[in-house]
Structure 1
Amino acid sequence: MEAKHQNSQRRRPGKSPPKAFREHLFHSLLNYAGPYSVGIMEIEVPVREPRTFSRIKHNHMHALRMDTVLFSIYYPCDPSSYAQSRGKRPSKATWLPRPRTLTSKGYAKFFSMPQLPVTAYIAATSMFTKLPAFRNAKLAGDRPGDCAGAASRSSLGAHSQDTLTGSGDKPKFPVIFFSHGSGGSRTCYSIVYGELAGNGFIIVAVEHRDGSGARSYVNIPPSGELADGLKINNTNPKRFYKVDYIFPPDNALDTSPNNARGVDTELRHAQIEMRMSEIGEAYYVLELLNNGQGDLVYKNNLRKKGNAGSSSKGLEVINWSDCDGRLLLSNVTVMGHPFGGATTVEIVRQNDRFPYIGQGIFRDAWGQATPKVGEVTHQSLRKPLLAINSEAFMHWPESFRRICDIGKEARNGGALCWVLTIKGSTHLSQTNFAMLYPHWMSFFMKTMVNPKRAVALTVNSSLEFLSRVLPPALTLGNAWVNEGILKTKVLIAGELPREHQPDGKLIASRLRIFNELRIRTVNWVRREPKESVATYIKGRPLIGLVNFPLGSEVWMHLSPDEENRQYPIRLSQEV
């Protein structure tokens, strides 16, 4: 108890930029709770080798083409240096990627809904929502509070000191790559990115242009050279192209659990290959930053004033020398959500191609789209893995069975592996949508977990996992909360709960609440606090309080602490 109290004292949140008037008037995102302040920068650069993936074409051109790589970096920052260098209100990036109106139309197309009402609703609620991060701020030069003092570092020996600190005894930060899911972008999981960055990680949120996102804009490099041997004349006024979501021909619902035709493996495996290549290109850019070549990144950056999807701020006023030797580019973590989870599994498998990847975390992985060993690579999982499921996805038998098989694969390869489910959560509980639209999440998806708590459980279990699998030199003196989530007792076979399991056509998309009308009516009569409308279904915290008993907020399906337990797949097979 005393240790927990001391830990809580070390978690004073880092400073956040002030909210604008429109953010108080409309929707806004919560400030991050980590001890570091959070900075953000956006980078788009030409790839070293433009190329295409698969034979799939759209409008007589290859649909999967990699000409540039786009990503946002969320990182621990020094907010005081930001204020001194600008002398005005800090700049913040918008939650909805620019151009915001056209991006809203891309979401309408992705959801197969009319463009006008979707765009109008987003404009009226969250068009001007900003990320609570300092744009282009200086990389943090100190550890917050009493983290990792010099005396503690010296106790680890000379080699570990080199790992912990860069030049001038400034801290070096471990790196996490994040791969978004279908319809996602580099910003839609920013609540998770920011929490991890606030705890001392550098998060590289890649925006995939493989036709799995709702909409993304690709700026054409000055050379005009594109994949497929195409070349755009410099006098051509259109210096960009857009990439919308690709619906598989004659199988548009291949993401649906009830699709009899299954997943379009030709498209999905090609997309995973392109996603892995984009992450490889992003890693190369980080190497440039870490090796003192930030000016080259600045010179080649295409996200600058006048270009599609860009802010006028670009990468201005960044002191690139501050990044020299400050990024830990070994033992890198890869993390992903649904389709990004499938990407994560494949990256962790391919050790020869990604030797710098040390472990993986996937959330609600799209099990059916995750290649089996031999379909893309013959290498099997031999690196630590953490799988975090939503309760809604847990009830998708085929996908959950595949996730359990991946867990077996990792354990058979000698790797530490945990598979858990957050009670009362649905698929979007781990995204910004849960924070911005909690009422819609409650009414339409029947989400029952407090959205703030769902994010905390995701982040805290990830930090607990990383504290176990990363070398001690990288975790010494951290201020991470350790709630003992990974110590939750493993369920036995056949013990999966069915209380909130929906019928077949709603599997994976929502939960089921018995006596819902009565529960909501009682809540309305009691005038529960506004925050509780979407999160406290029965007029009291169903789950979500920190002082709940261990195991009351998650189900554990696989843990190396209880290796002899069976996988809970019997119930899934019976469904």
Structure 2
Amino acid sequence: MTSFPRPSPCRPSAAPEPRKTLREHILHSLPAYTGPYQVGFLEIELPAADPRPFAPHIKRNNEFALKLDTVLFAVYYPADLEAKTGTAGRTRPPWLPRPRPSTCRGYAKFLNIPHWPVTAYMAATTMFTKLPAYRNARISQRWPDEAGHDTGRGSGSGSGSGSGTHQVSDAETLVEQEDEDEDVNDKPRFPVVIFSHGLGGSRTLYSSICGELASYGLVVVAMEHRDGSGARTFVNKAGKSQDLESDDVDKTATPPKNEEKTPQRRQKDAEAKPYYKIDYLFPKDNAQDTSPRNPNGVDKELRGAQIDMRLAEIEEAFRALDLINSGKGSEVRRDNLRKPGNVGSSSMGLEDIEWENWVGRLDLENITIMGHSFGGATAVQALRSGKLPWITQGVLLDPWGPATPECTEQRSVHKPVLSVGSEAFMHWAENYDCVKKVCDEARAAGTLSWMMTIRGSTHLSQTDFAILYPNWMSLLMKTIVNPERAISLTVHSALEFLKLTLPRAQTRFARAWADEQLLSRANPVAKVESDYRPDDKWVAARLKIPNEFSMRLRGVLGWGRWSNGLVSHDVRDEIWCHQSPDKDAVERYKEESWSGWRVGTAGE
């Protein structure tokens, strides 16, 4: 595996890095996060408050294909490791979800290839890779500037490749003056992000983005959707809703193939099943509906139903967060199905967590929705939905535009939105037009919208696959950008966006955020280059590298700059901007939103 030098963080100090295991030194590993906080990790699976099927007419083997029994998600959050209770905060979760061999087989089925080479290769590379986060660690009690992190306040300095000087506006100066009267010992109330994965994804596949955001002071809830969009996921029995369960289960004992199942036997089996698995759900008679060249287009019926179920899962996750935030964390621990003895669980479950430290620590009035690919389409509908008023802005990562339901007069994006896409998807004209329409919706509603592209990136550049398998990404997808730099540009763009759109109460976190001014200096380009546009056969899937052999040879011999990928772009040319608000619109939005905050808090 080629070792790509890491871009320097944009701030001079970061939390101590986790110690790598011996296997991680030998095999593939994930880089440590660069923010001022260490990162904690929780896994939660809860029975759904309202278990039900979605699109009941969509069935497989005469059973509901989409059914909500439980909700599963991981929480990445700012943590303090000095205070430990029992074994909390001492172990690191695996990157590959348990049970790991079965998860590998799920990926093989998703890719439609024999499972044994996939399992063998992942076992030899990432089967034992761990997240640079700590399971059940204590949620941080400190603000970032109290965690030994230099915010650069007053110095106006930044470091690292491409970092920009932190510009302090008049509004931020006013905030700092107001903060002088605040209790310096108050505990931070963390902004919340809900992350929706793409096809084949999971709660850990985007850990590089989720954990990095958490290291800067955000609580990130990474969903694992059970709508048939993941490669493989496991649903633990909640003790109810057996009529929704599927026959496609893993059993401890399998009856002979020639044995007929009577209704009584089926009922007995249902009562004995501890869990069932959900694999990727291919559309009937249109298995490749994700392909730009598919003449049948997207299966709107199935994808629309999946998005509806995903939004319901997000509501269920919000309910759990509200319980934790309101002092009922012990109820979440009691009902949690990811506990010892259940499938996919760690030996720790949710033990040794000091739930009282979570009370009132989450900002649940201003939640950001973020999603990649099909998760980006999910995020669009979450921004349109009137049932999720607590979602106040959204970040779309290379969204799958054709899968997004059509905009209606009653359902349009009217909240700030940032789209950060890949160059591979940018060359897909239909997808580009769909994403632009979404950004135009926000602009027409009088709010802020940005549409940007990371040059040299491909669709998986915003996943952990790009970090763990950079050579395969470069050889097969023709990815040109440094994979870690692509993640950094994604995270820093999102942080700058949140700095502009979150309420004034959260700006104290923003003082410690990396600030490369990726949005503030972005001017829409009149024309983008097409040097790396692939042939129509490979549109959206990969890029084209002219003179590829000589380019790679220069990199191997040290003539090229591997630290910047195969092609070196100037810092100001790393991102193409297709749409952005002008500075007056940004300042007007901040003044109106912060004025609204001051009015709203004046009577408290």
Q: Shorter-chain-normalised TM-score: which range? A: 0.7 to 0.9
Using the alignment, how far apart are the partners of 1:251 and 1:319 within structure 2? 49
For each residue in 1:308-363, what CA deviation from the matched residue of structure 2 results, as whole angstroms up to 9, or x when unmatched?
1111111111111111111110111000000000000010011x201101100001
Does residue 200 of the first structure (1) align with residue 195 of the second (2)?
A: no
Secondary structure of the corresponding residue to residue 388 of structure 1: strand
For each residue in 1:26-64, what CA deviation from the matched residue of structure 2 results, as whole angstroms up to 9, or x when unmatched?
111000001100000000000011100012111211010
Task: Give the direction of change, closer, same or farther, for the CA distance of 1:10–1:396 in structure 2 (3 Å limit).
Answer: closer
Match of 1:372 in 2: 406
Match of 1:290 in 2: 325
Match of 1:17 in 2: 18
Residue 8 of structure 1 deviates from its aligned partner by 7.3
- Contact 2:554-2:560 within 8 A present in 1 as well: no
Q: Which runs of 5+ in 2 are unaligned?
A: 1-7, 154-172, 248-265, 586-604
Task: Give the direction of change, closer, same or farther, for the CA distance of 1:20–1:229 in structure 2 (3 Å limit).
Answer: closer
TM-score (norm 1): 0.88
**One of 463, 469, 475 as aligned partner of 1:443:** 475
Q: How does 1:77-476 map to 2 (within 5 A)?
A: 77-82=79-84, 85-86=86-87, 90-146=90-146, 155-156=177-178, 169-223=186-240, 225=242, 227=244, 236-350=271-385, 352-374=386-408, 378-476=410-508
Residue 488 of structure 1 deviates from its aligned partner by 3.7
The aligned amino acid for 2:445 is G
Residue 452 of structure 1 deviates from its aligned partner by 1.0
The aligned amino acid for 2:343 is A
- Contact 2:51-2:70 within 8 A present in 1 as well: yes
Q: Which runs of 5+ in 1 are unaligned?
A: 1-6, 565-575
Using the alignment, how far apart are the partners of 2:9 and 2:94 within structure 1? 31
Using the alignment, how far apart are the partners of 2:405 and 2:559 within structure 1? 49
Using the alignment, how far apart are the partners of 2:305 and 2:335 within structure 1? 27
Residue 275 of structure 1 deviates from its aligned partner by 0.2
Using the alignment, how far apart are the partners of 2:554 and 2:174 within structure 1? 55
Using the alignment, how far apart are the partners of 1:8 and 1:111 within structure 2? 35
Residue 21 of structure 1 deviates from its aligned partner by 1.0
Match of 1:63 in 2: 65
Secondary structure of the corresponding residue to residue 183 of structure 1: coil
For each residue in 1:507-566, what CA deviation from the matched residue of structure 2 results, as whole angstroms up to 9, or x when unmatched?
01111110001222333344879x65xx5325xxx13xxxx443x1100000001799xx
RMSD: 2.7
The aligned amino acid for 2:397 is R
Task: Give the direction of change, closer, same or farther, for the CA distance of 1:264–1:319 in structure 2 (3 Å limit).
Answer: same
- Contact 1:108-1:114 within 8 A present in 2 as well: yes
- Contact 1:27-1:126 within 8 A present in 2 as well: yes
Residue 379 of structure 1 deviates from its aligned partner by 1.8
The aligned amino acid for 2:105 is K
The aligned amino acid for 1:96 is L
Using the alignment, how far apart are the partners of 2:189 and 2:584 within structure 1? 35
Percent of residue pairs bearing the same amino acid type: 48
- Contact 2:39-2:77 within 8 A present in 1 as well: yes
- Contact 2:292-2:428 within 8 A present in 1 as well: yes
Using the alignment, how far apart are the partners of 2:110 and 2:53 within structure 1? 23
Secondary structure of the corresponding residue to residue 336 of structure 1: strand
The aligned amino acid for 2:75 is I
Using the alignment, how far apart are the partners of 2:325 and 2:175 within structure 1? 22
Using the alignment, how far apart are the partners of 1:36 and 1:50 within structure 2? 37
TM-score (norm 2): 0.84
Secondary structure of the corresponding residue to residue 361 of structure 1: strand
Residue 15 of structure 1 deviates from its aligned partner by 2.5
Does residue 500 of the first structure (1) align with residue 532 of the second (2)?
A: yes
Secondary structure of the corresponding residue to residue 186 of structure 1: coil
- Contact 1:488-1:556 within 8 A present in 2 as well: no
Secondary structure of the corresponding residue to residue 439 of structure 2: helix
Match of 1:558 in 2: 579
For each residue in 1:269-307, what CA deviation from the matched residue of structure 2 results, as whole angstroms up to 9, or x when unmatched?
000000000000000000000010001000000001111
Secondary structure of the corresponding residue to residue 101 of structure 1: helix
Does residue 509 of the first structure (1) align with residue 541 of the second (2)?
A: yes
**One of 58, 73, 85 as aligned partner of 2:75:** 73
The aligned amino acid for 1:62 is F
- Contact 2:69-2:241 within 8 A present in 1 as well: no
Residue 506 of structure 1 deviates from its aligned partner by 0.3
Using the alignment, how far apart are the partners of 1:75 and 1:431 within structure 2? 19
Using the alignment, how far apart are the partners of 2:413 and 2:144 within structure 1? 36
Q: How many residues align?
A: 535
Task: Give the direction of change, closer, same or farther, for the CA distance of 1:226–1:174 in structure 2 (3 Å limit).
Answer: farther
Deviates more, 1:476-485 or 1:255-264: 476-485
**One of 566, 575, 591 as aligned partner of 1:537:** 566
Task: Give the direction of change, closer, same or farther, for the CA distance of 1:224–1:266 in structure 2 (3 Å limit).
Answer: closer
- Contact 1:11-1:34 within 8 A present in 2 as well: no
Deviates more, 1:203-212 or 1:234-243: 234-243
- Contact 1:395-1:508 within 8 A present in 2 as well: yes
Residue 116 of structure 1 deviates from its aligned partner by 0.7
Using the alignment, how far apart are the partners of 1:130 and 1:76 within structure 2? 18
For each residue in 1:393-428, what CA deviation from the matched residue of structure 2 results, as whole angstroms up to 9, or x when unmatched?
100000001111111111001110000000111111
For each residue in 1:420-447, what CA deviation from the matched residue of structure 2 results, as whole angstroms up to 9, or x when unmatched?
0001111111110011000001111111
- Contact 2:384-2:411 within 8 A present in 1 as well: yes
Residue 79 of structure 1 deviates from its aligned partner by 1.0
- Contact 1:224-1:233 within 8 A present in 2 as well: no
The aligned amino acid for 2:294 is N
Residue 487 of structure 1 deviates from its aligned partner by 2.6
Relative contact order (alpha carbons < 8 A, sep ≥ 6): 1 or 2 greater? Answer: 2
The aligned amino acid for 1:106 is G
The aligned amino acid for 1:561 is D
